[in-house]
Structure 1
C-alpha cells in the first residue's frame, strides 16, 4: 500500500527535511501559520478586529486557539465583506451559497487568485491517489464557470499530466454511459447518487465496454452501500473526498487504505468540538468539525463551525502517514431530526436502510407535525419498472431503523412511503441531501438549537 501523496506534499510545504513527515513538524508549522493568520485578520479585517478583541494577542501553543471565538455561517451571511483582508480588486472569484441558517441570508465567499491556486495544487496532489499521468478522467461536477469546482479540478489534473474531460452533473444516463465507454474513461469524479444511477442503469452493452478503474465521490455524503454498489457493478476502487466551499472546496481525501480523510494540514487547522459546549473533545470521540484556514489571504476563516459531525480516528493509518485521519462524515447537526424526547433520525439512517436495495436510486424525506404526532414522508426513486413488489420490502427496511421502530412503538410517529419508479431525475440543486424538517425549532436537539442561534455558543 502506498503512503498518501499528501504526505510528501505537506512535508515540502512545511519545510520538513527528515525522511518521514512527523506530527511535531506539522504542528510547528500550524502554530506559526496560526500566529500569522491571526495577526493578518486583526490588521486587515474589520470583522475580526471586533470578533477577536477579547482573545489573546499571541498563541503560545495550538490549544490556545480555543480562546478565540467561533465563526459561524450566520457571520458570513451578515458580515462577509467585513471579513475580507484584501481589496475587492484582488478578489478573483465570489461564490454565493444559500444559507441553511436562521437568517435565510445568502453566504458569499471570496477568493483571490492565490487562494484558488492552493485548491488547484491540492487537487493535483490528491487526485494522484487514484489517477496516473495519461489517465482520462470524466468530471461530473459543475465546470462551466471559471473557478468552479470542476474547472479547478480540471486544472489540477492537467498539471498532473492526466486528461480531464469536463462533463458537468449527470442529466442523461444513457448519454453519460455512452461517453464513459467511447472516451475510454479511466476514472470519474461525481456526486454519489448521480454516479449510483449510472451504475444501476440497465445497459449491459455499455457496462461491458467500460474500463473504469477508480471513482472519487464528492459534494455530498457517501453512504457505504453506494460505494459497495459501484465496486460490485464496475469493479473499480471508490474513494471519498471531503470539502466545502468555505474550505476552498478541498479539505481531505482518502488514501489507498480508504478508512478516513487525510486532511490538507498545511492549509487547514481542524478541530473536533462538543457542539453544545464548544470545547474540544478527546481524540476518537464524535463532535462538530471546526476549521481555521492557515494560508488563505482573501477571506480567512477562524474556527469556522461546519455543522458536520465526525471524529479523528485514533489509530495511525495503515498507509504509514503522520497525517491525521478524519472519519468519513455521515451527517450534519442540522440534519438530525428529534423524534420525541430521546430519539434522533438522520439521512444516514435512511440511506443505510434503503440503498442496499439494487433498485433504489435516491432517497428523500420530509418530517412534519400533524395533530399530536410526527409524520415522516419518504420518497424513494427507483429504476424503471421496480413495481409494487418492492414497496413492502422498503417499508420493512424503514421500520428496522432503530429510531423509527422505537418511535412507532411509542405511538409518536406515522410513516408514509412513496415509491417513484420513473427512473433517474436530474438534480434540481447542488444541496446536500438531508431530511427536510418543517416542524421548526421544536424538532431540533439542544445542541442544534445552540448552533442555530448565531453567536450563542461562542
Structure 2
C-alpha cells in the first residue's frame, strides 16, 4: 500500500528529512505555529485583541495549555468579519461569502491573501496525488470561473503535478456532464457527492463504466451508500475530502487505505471536543471538530467550532503514515432531531435512502398535527425509472427512531417521489432535517 504523499509534503514544510518524519516533530512544529498565530491575532485582530487579552503566547507550551483558550464561533465571524482580518485590505486577494443552510440574513465573510491561497494550492497538489498522477485527466465539477475559487485553485494544483484539469463547474445538466467526461476523456472526477451520484445513476452513466479510475467527493458529507453506488457503477475508487471555506478549503483527504482523512497538519491544528461541555475528548471519542489555523496571515482563526461530528482514529494507518487520521465526517452536531425517545439524523437518512437504486437526493421535514408527528420525505429520482414507495417506507423502517414511533402509532411517514429538482438539490446546500414542530428537542 502506498503511503500518502502528504507525509513528504509535511516533511518539506517542517524542514524534516524525507522518510524520517515523526509525531513529535509535527507536534513541536504545531506548538511553535500556535504561539505565532496567537501573537499575530492579538496584535492585528480586533476580535482576538479582546478575547485573548489575558493570554501570553509564550506560556502556551503544551496542547493542554492551548485547550484553555476560548472558542471562536461561526456567529462571531458573521457579526463582524472585519474584526478578524489581520492585514491591510490591499493585500486581500479573495473574499468568500457563506450563507448557512436554511437561514437568511447576513452571511459569514472569509478573507484570504494571495499567500493564504498558495497554501491551499500546495495542499491540493499533494493531496490529489493520492488518486491521480501526471497525464491523468481530471473533470472538475466545482465552481472554477472566479479566480481563487475552489475549482480554480484545484486547476492550478493539478497543472503543477502535470495532470490535465478539465474545469466544468457544478452539474446543472447531468447528461451534458457525462458527455463532457466522454469528450475530454476524463479518467478522474472531483465533485459534489449527490451530483456525481446523479451521473452514475443516469441512463447514460454506463458510458463512463471502466473509464473512470478515481473519484474525489467534496463540499458535503459523503454517505457510504453514495460511495458504494459510484464504485459499483463505474468500477472505480472513491476518495473523500474534508474541508470548509473557513479552514482554507482543504482540511484532509483519504489515502490509498481509504479509511479516515489524513489531516493538513502543517497548516491546521485539529481538536475533538464535547459539543455540550467544550471539553477536549480523548482520542477515539466522537465529538465536534475544532480547528486552528497555523499559517494563515489574512484571517487566522483560533479554536473555531465547525459543527461537524467526527473522531480521531487510533493506531497507525495501513498506509504507514505518521499523520493523524480523522474518521470520515457523516453529520453535524445540529443534524439530529428527536422522535419520541430516540434521535433521527441526516447520516441515518443518507445511508438508507441513497442505498435505494435511482434515488438522487431528498428533502426531509418533521411536522406535528393533532398530537402526532409527521415525517415528510421528498425523494428526487432519476427521470427514466420509477421507485416503489413501499421500498422507501421499508428502508426508513431501518431507522430505530422511525420504526419505534410508527409501531406505537405516534408517527406517520409521508413519502413523495418525483424527478423534479428541488431547491438546493443542484448546488452545494447541505441536507438537513427541517423541524416545523412548535416544541422541538435539539441534540
Q: TM-score category by the smaller chain?
A: over 0.9
TM-score scaled by structure 2? 0.95
What is the aligned length?
A: 442
| Counterpart in the other structure of 1:418 | 416
Q: Deviations over 1:264-314 (max 9, x none)?
A: 101000000000010111110100000000000100000000000000011
1:441, distance to aligned residue in structure 2 (A): 7.5
1:385, distance to aligned residue in structure 2 (A): 4.5
Query: CA separation of 1:189/1:18 partners in 2, compared to 1, >3 Å: closer, same or farther?
Result: closer
CA contact (8 A) 1:383 1:423 kept: no
1:104, distance to aligned residue in structure 2 (A): 4.2
Q: Deviations over 1:2-45 (max 9, x none)?
A: 10000010011111136331110000000000000001101111
Correspondence 1:416-455 to 2 at 5 A: 416-421=414-419, 427-439=425-437, 442-445=440-443
1:349 equivalenced with 2:319 (yes/no) = no
SS of equivalent to 2:130: coil
Q: Quick one: distance in 1 between partners of 2:194 and 2:430?
A: 11
CA contact (8 A) 2:101 2:430 kept: no
1:407, distance to aligned residue in structure 2 (A): 2.4
CA contact (8 A) 2:192 2:428 kept: no
1:52, distance to aligned residue in structure 2 (A): 1.2
1:204, distance to aligned residue in structure 2 (A): 6.6
- Structure 1 unaligned spans of 5+: 446-458
CA contact (8 A) 2:8 2:18 kept: no
| Counterpart in the other structure of 2:358 | 359
1:290 equivalenced with 2:286 (yes/no) = no
TM-score scaled by structure 1? 0.92
1:77, distance to aligned residue in structure 2 (A): 0.3
| Counterpart in the other structure of 2:28 | 28
Query: CA separation of 1:252/1:38 partners in 2, compared to 1, >3 Å: closer, same or farther?
Result: same
Q: Quick one: distance in 1 between partners of 2:160 and 2:439?
A: 48
Query: CA separation of 1:204/1:231 partners in 2, compared to 1, >3 Å: closer, same or farther?
Result: closer
CA contact (8 A) 1:261 1:325 kept: yes
Correspondence 1:10-25 to 2 at 5 A: 10-17=10-17, 19-25=19-25
Q: Quick one: distance in 2 between partners of 1:366 and 1:205?
A: 34
1:315, distance to aligned residue in structure 2 (A): 2.0
Query: CA separation of 1:410/1:70 partners in 2, compared to 1, >3 Å: closer, same or farther?
Result: farther
Q: Quick one: distance in 1 between partners of 2:222 and 2:404?
A: 26
CA contact (8 A) 1:74 1:101 kept: no
Q: Quick one: distance in 2 between partners of 1:350 and 1:97?
A: 25
1:149, distance to aligned residue in structure 2 (A): 0.6
| Counterpart in the other structure of 1:391 | 389
SS of equivalent to 1:31: helix
CA contact (8 A) 2:284 2:314 kept: yes
CA contact (8 A) 1:21 1:321 kept: no
Q: Quick one: distance in 2 between partners of 1:425 and 1:85?
A: 37
1:424, distance to aligned residue in structure 2 (A): 9.7
Greater displacement, 397-406 / 100-109? 100-109
CA contact (8 A) 2:199 2:205 kept: no
Q: Quick one: distance in 2 between partners of 1:204 and 1:428?
A: 18
1:133 equivalenced with 2:134 (yes/no) = yes
Q: Quick one: distance in 2 between partners of 1:98 and 1:227?
A: 27
SS of equivalent to 2:368: strand
> Considering only aligned residues, what root-mean-square deviation do their CA atoms show, in Å?
1.9
Q: Quick one: distance in 2 between partners of 1:412 and 1:61?
A: 51
SS of equivalent to 1:198: helix
| Counterpart in the other structure of 1:450 | none
CA contact (8 A) 2:206 2:234 kept: no
CA contact (8 A) 1:77 1:99 kept: no
1:103, distance to aligned residue in structure 2 (A): 8.7
1:326 equivalenced with 2:326 (yes/no) = yes
1:100, distance to aligned residue in structure 2 (A): 5.3
SS of equivalent to 2:391: helix
